[in-house]
Amino acid sequence: MTTLATAATAATVEFRSLRRAFGTTVALDGLDLTVRPGELLALLGPSGCGKTTALRMLAGFEHPDSGEVLVDGEDITRVPAHRRDAGMVFQSYSLFPHLSALDNVAFGLRMRKVGTAERRTRAGELLDLVGLGDKGGRFPHQLSGGQQQRVALARALALRPRVLLLDEPLSALDAKVRLSLREEIRRLQLELGITTVFVTHDQEEALSMADRVAVMRAGRLEQCAEPAELYGRPATAFVAEFVGTMNRIPGTLDGDTVSVLGQRLPVDGEAPGPGAVDVLVRPEAVRVSADEEGDGRVGATAFLGAATRVTVRLADGAEIKADLPTHEAGALVSGARVSVSLPDRPVLVAARPS
């Protein structure tokens, strides 16, 4: 581990006012974002939001129409990809089929004229680091998908880059392997202290792996925050609904308060004009209790382990999902009348779809 620990000092990465259009399609629309030294930052968003374009600009595979990319204060916007001191892992592995795992890891070192003995030693150390020390002589077709991706990760780290770039590296793997490998990537990232930018459309991956998550939409940054803050205090309705499950409950907005489910609650953040709105509430915040005079009826239930998701249909046709402790949900049989309420705290509201 001593040799590997001599990786370059963790870098600060800055995207400044990045703009990029492909014809009439705007991929990035003034992106401003800073990645702190040694952190793992996830770029999260739907397809076409600009997250991969931003990563490719950091890698040097794309260039902005305007704006800058900086690493430790140095403008690298026009620096060629091969001179950027960044390691990249793709979702497709991109291993050389005619090279062994060891030679794949050592390939970049070979291109940099590192001596045979040193590059084989360093490649062996990296294979040990990713748990493949005994697989160095195997070719890619002799390795599983998860093992191939570990080799790709080791290869990206071989040159001791200042920044590690991960472009949806787990999307081609099955669920069990994905879980194992994301834990392994996080362990390695923390162990090496390397600044890492990770692109994904999978919110569970982003929330479980990242120090901070940057949610993007239509080329713009909606919010960048630690996972708990992003989930618990989303800055916009888009973030609230994109990250985790969210109820839309009909309400009426009047000033800085909203009437919903017979309650009047303060509004958190920006709100549309007065009138009919939707109140955004997480299922775990919804309270459900048996009530013969209640306005709702229990519908479907879904066992989630310690919690059970109960769907309640209100008299006006609205459906609300509530995550209740399983031992409480067991008493709420299908068709039972219930009342639904919300905690007395600020809520997000959004314009009701027309």
Domain boundaries, the chain: 4-237, 245-351
CATH node for 4-237: 3.40.50.300
pLDDT at position 181 is 87
Digitized pLDDT (tens) for each residue of the chain, 354 residues in all: 334 444 456 899 999 999 999 999 999 999 999 999 999 999 999 999 999 999 999 999 999 999 999 999 999 999 999 889 899 998 887 899 999 999 999 998 888 888 889 889 989 988 998 889 999 999 999 999 889 998 999 999 988 899 999 999 888 788 888 888 888 899 889 988 999 999 998 999 999 999 999 999 999 999 999 999 999 889 888 999 999 899 999 999 998 999 999 999 999 877 888 899 999 999 999 999 999 999 999 999 999 999 999 999 998 888 999 999 999 898 899 999 999 999 999 999 998 887
pLDDT at position 54 is 97
Domains 4-237 and 245-351 alike in fold: no
pLDDT at position 3 is 45
For 219, left (φ over 0), alpha (ψ -120 to 50), or beta? left
Could you tell me where the beta strands, DSSP code E, fall in the chain? 13-22, 25-35, 40-44, 66-71, 74-75, 86-90, 163-167, 195-200, 212-217, 220-225, 247-254, 257-260, 263-266, 275-281, 287-290, 296-303, 307-314, 319-325, 337-341, 348-351
- In whole angstroms, how far apart are CA 232 and each of 27, 105, 347? 28, 41, 11
CATH assignment of 245-351, among 3.90.660.10, 3.20.20.70, 3.40.50.720, 2.40.50.140 = 2.40.50.140
How much is the pTM? 0.86
pLDDT at position 8 is 53
CB 331 within 8 A of CB 217: no
